[in-house]
Structures are given as C-alpha cells and as structure tokens.
C-alpha cells in the first residue's frame, strides 16, 4: 500500500515580503525616508533620504534572505525574561518556613 501524498501549495506557505524584505519594515523605512524628504525640502535632506531608503532596503533584503521571519523571532526573543526562577507551581508561597 502506497503512502498518500498531499500537495502543499507554495502560495499558502510563502512569506509576506515586499521588495525583497519584510513588508512592515520596508514600508516603515520608506515612510521615514519619505517624511524626511518632504518635511525638510532641501537637497541635502533629499540625498540623505534616498541614501537612507536604499541602505535600509539593502539591509532588509539581506535580513530576509537569511531568515524571512527574523523580525518575529527577534520580537519573541525580546519578550522572554532574563531569568526564570525555579518554582514547582505558581501558587506555592516561597517562604523559608522549613528551617
């Protein structure tokens, strides 16, 4: 008896990328560059905004190539506590009444 195979469609497992990087981070960096250019209205601010956009896009593409879900992994890492004390249950009173 042969094993039954189920096809996994690629469109259902594709990561949510935009311009090769994480969608939210790419759009946020584009918004920051756009705000910088159109609030200052100087040539230097325009050049810096374009430079900022391309550099951030390059870094975000590298990050997405290494791991498309790196932002979610980092945010979960930041939620972890530095130290978790050993306790048998959260309802136990940790007192020193055994001495």
User: pLDDT tens digits for 32-58?
Assistant: 999 999 999 899 999 999 999 999 999
- Beta-bridge partners for 21: 18
Domain boundaries, the chain: 17-78
Burial label, 22 (beta-carbon count in 10 A; 0-12, 13-18, 19+): buried
CB 64 within 8 A of CB 20: yes
Report the SS3 class of residue 28: helix
Cβ atoms of 30 and 53 closer than 8 Å: yes
Confidence tier at 1 by pLDDT (50, 70, 90): confident
pTM value is 0.71
- In this prediction, residue 94 carries a pLDDT of 64
């Amino acid at each position: 008896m042969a094993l039954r195979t189920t096809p996994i469609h690629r469109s259902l497992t594709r990561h949510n990328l935009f311009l090769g990087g994480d969608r939210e981070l790419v759009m946020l960096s584009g918004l920051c560059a756009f705000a910088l250019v159109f609030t200052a209205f100087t040539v230097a601010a325009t050049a810096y905004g374009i430079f900022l956009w391309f550099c951030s896009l390059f870094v975000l593409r590298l990050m997405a190539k290494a791991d498309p879900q790196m932002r979610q992994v980092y945010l979960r890492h930041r939620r972890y506590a530095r130290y978790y004390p050993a306790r048998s249950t959260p309802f136990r009173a940790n007192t020193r009444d055994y001495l």
